[in-house]
Amino acid sequence: MARPSGRPAGEQPVIPLRFGDDALLWASWLYHEENMTQGDIAAEMGISRASVNSYLAEARARGLVTVEIEPRQFRALTLAGALRERFGLEDCLVVPTTGGERSLIARLGAAGAQTLARLVRSGDTTAVTWGRTVLALAEALRLPGLTDLRVVQATGGTTAKIPWTPEACASRLAEAMGARCIPLSAPAIVSSAAMRDMLLAETVLAEQMTVLAEANRIVFGISSLRPESTIHTSGFFEGIEHHHYEERAIGSIAGRFISASGDVVGGPLDGRTIGLDLAALRAIPQRVAVVGGSDKVPAVLGALRGGYASVLVTDAVTGWGVLAADGWTEPPRREALAAAPRALPLRTQTKKLLNDPRQAVDEALEGAFAAHRDLIAPVPRAPRAVRAVHGPRPGKVGVLIGGGAGHEPAFWGYVGAGLADAAAVGNVFAAPPPAPILAAMRAIDGGAGVLCVYGNFSGDVMNFDMAAEEAAEAGIAVRSVVTTDDVASAPADAIGSRRGVAGNVFVFKVAGAAADRMMSLAECEAVTRRAAARTVSMGVALERGSMPETRRPSFALGPGDMEIGVGVHGEPGVSREALASADAVADLLVDRLFDEMRLRERDRVAVLVNSLGGTPAMELYVVHRRVAQRLRARRVEVVSSLVGPYYTSLDMAGVSLSLIHLDDELADLLAHPCRSAALSVP
């Protein structure tokens, strides 16, 4: 007997959003992935069993289904289904993160437009927030033939310095839908709570707020709290000092703040904001969130945990990141279950040479000090602050680098003559606290100031900034360069959201050489910033790494898979593909970096083929062989090459490729002599 479909009797079935309008794909998914019988499928789809059989046969004939559904569609469907089930969504659409000439924002906008076109009905009132993705949705939407539609702003107006204001998003969406546009005739932020109450009492605004309360649907984006995020660029915080909300908030929706669990976080603008609050947003029957980008994973997860979205449109990297952060693991597929031979129980933990895992970072540093006592020493009373034994030099800019442990030989391995003067080290994959950073700044200040260089991770940025503020109060001039070389972690139009990874090695080298040549603090900052802007990296993992305390892998990876675009903190990548040859992996990395660099004939580069921790030198040199071939074919000169474990991720097996596009000054600084535990140039 077929299982009940859960629809009222007589109601026509609607193909779930993630299958588009493809009934064959829907039937194939239900049969091959959800293990439903043909009778179950007939009941679910509202068709005859004979039609189901015909659909499945046609799907095989068209090549939609062979042994498995086409991989990219399968991954998107897997993620969409998992997100829908895990967070109780009405529906979910997942689009590829990369591919084609359009930016991720444009593709998300198009997917959001496709979603909205399927949902809107005559007589609807749709509220809309603001942002890049929301505006892209409005510009992609074409929805003729409906009547009596209203589009209403969800918040008051913001700064006119940006094109994606609430007014622009609402008016463009109304135009695309043939709807009447209802603005909110007031700023989003007013000077006081009393002013807000006075404005809300005005007849015109009160009528507009009444329409907003009648919305049966809202379309919104979700903002991270990075400096370049929508909430910041929209002018919400102009004139607002730092507030304790930053300690708990991980994102914002319609100018309101949420925590990692989805709770409302009080902020500095409470009582002064005109527009929809989060309780009212959650009460709207249909809530369509259109959002993507790996930097937004914590904010999206918080929004889903808080129940703010009922329909989600996102990209594969973001969807995967949200599920992984919430503890989801990909289930085995029907064919895999059927074909799997009986095997011995799998080992679930990695063997490690440790004593107490909680002491691993300090014991490793103790061993480094003993092995390299001619190069490095701990800063007194701050053992996680590592300094060069020779220094500081009067009148020389001090160079400070740092970040979490687990990347050895980074960061202490790049402390020495002609390189960094000090490094601050945190726990495994965690930012160093402000205290050792400040201690290192004081230890290396030679009167010319300190230049800090570190990767673009929220904890590092926050803690280095805090230490810099304290150093400034003590009379130490501090400048910072934040590295963003990981091209897989964010699209080209959001470079400020990218992570800093193995390309750090080139940036550290340039900064150290500039300081060693007694350049001024401003000159050191400028050339280091240029080096960071001209450095790109991307990695591939073959085996996942494991943390010292748990000894468990950081993400699931099948025996025949490789993870593309993996992060150095154990983050999953942007896609998962079948394990390929060394040349194919090298080509994949080179092609992606070439897309970013736009190298021309006779340009010069330096190359870093880096082990992520568990890949031996033999394999790295095989990869480097192919990288060198590709650069030679493009008539690009390789000035220098580094091959080895320069910036690792514990015991992860895999490789990353970094290229720096050189000019005369950068090439000269890379050749400047240096000596450290990890890198020496005679």
Q: What is the pLDDT of residues 562-598, one digit of tens each?
A: 999 998 987 778 888 999 999 999 999 999 999 999 8
Phi, psi of 649 (to 5 degrees): -135, 70
Comparing C-alpha atoms, which of 125, 129, 286, 135 is closest to residue 212? 125
pLDDT given at position 168: 93
Comparing C-alpha atoms, which of 460, 528, 535, 458 is closest to residue 497? 458
Give the mean pLDDT of 641-654. Answer: 96
pLDDT given at position 366: 96
Pinpoint the alpha helices (H) of 565-616: 582-597
The alpha carbon dihedral of 183, 185, 189, 193 has a sign of: negative
Separation CA 655–CA 588 (nearest Å): 12
End-to-end CA distance of the chain: 79
Residues designated as active site: 407, 569
Give the mean pLDDT of 427-456. Answer: 96
Please count the helices (runs of H) and the strands (runs of E) in the chain: 22, 25
Pinpoint the alpha helices (H) of 326-422: 334-339, 360-371
What are the E-state strand segments in 166-248?
180-182, 217-220
**Other beta carbons less than 10 A from residue 603's beta carbon:** 16
Specify the length of the chain in residues.
Answer: 682
Separation CA 183–CA 380 (nearest Å): 61
pLDDT given at position 67: 44
User: What token pair was written down for 357?
Assistant: 């895992």
The residue type at 569: H
Answer yes or no: is pLDDT of 310 > 50.
Answer: yes
Strands of 264-265's sheet in order across? 249-253, 256-259, 264-265
**Other beta carbons less than 10 A from residue 148's beta carbon:** 11
Close Cβ partners of 493 (under 8 Å, ≥ 6 residues apart): 103, 104, 105
Answer yes or no: is pLDDT of 159 > 80.
Answer: no
Separation CA 557–CA 627 (nearest Å): 26
Give the mean pLDDT of 210-223. Answer: 94
Close Cβ partners of 503 (under 8 Å, ≥ 6 residues apart): 483, 485, 486, 532, 535, 536, 537, 608, 658, 660
Give the mean pLDDT of 499-513. Answer: 97
Secondary structure of residue 179 in the 3-state scheme = coil
**Other beta carbons less than 10 A from residue 227's beta carbon:** 10
- How does residue 242 score in pLDDT terms, banded at 50, 70 and 90? very low
- How does residue 245 score in pLDDT terms, banded at 50, 70 and 90? low
Here the contacts of 620-627 (C-beta below 8 Å, separation 24 or greater) are: 620/644, 620/655, 622/582, 623/582, 623/585, 623/586, 623/655, 623/657, 626/582, 626/583, 626/586, 626/587, 626/590, 627/586, 627/589, 627/590, 627/657
Range in 25-29, 106-110, 157-161, 388-392 with the lowest mean pLDDT: 157-161
pLDDT given at position 232: 58
pLDDT in tens, 403-439: 999 999 999 999 999 999 999 999 999 999 999 999 9
pLDDT given at position 462: 94
Separation CA 512–CA 525 (nearest Å): 11
Three-state SS for 75-112 is HHHHHHHHHHHHHCCCEEEEECCCCCCCCHHHHHHHHH
- How does residue 265 score in pLDDT terms, banded at 50, 70 and 90? confident
Inter-CA distances, 659 with 25, 583, 590, Å: 41, 17, 9
H or E stretch at 473:
helix 458-473
| 555, 563 contact by CB (below 8 A) | yes
Question: For 599, which DSSP code?
Answer: -
Separation CA 168–CA 76 (nearest Å): 31
Inter-CA distances, 564 with 97, 348, 494, 630, 654, Å: 12, 23, 19, 20, 10
Helix orientation angle between 297-305 and 316-325, rounded to the nearest 10 degrees: 60
pLDDT given at position 68: 45
Comparing C-alpha atoms, which of 95, 88, 84, 73 is closest to residue 28? 73
| pTM as predicted | 0.59
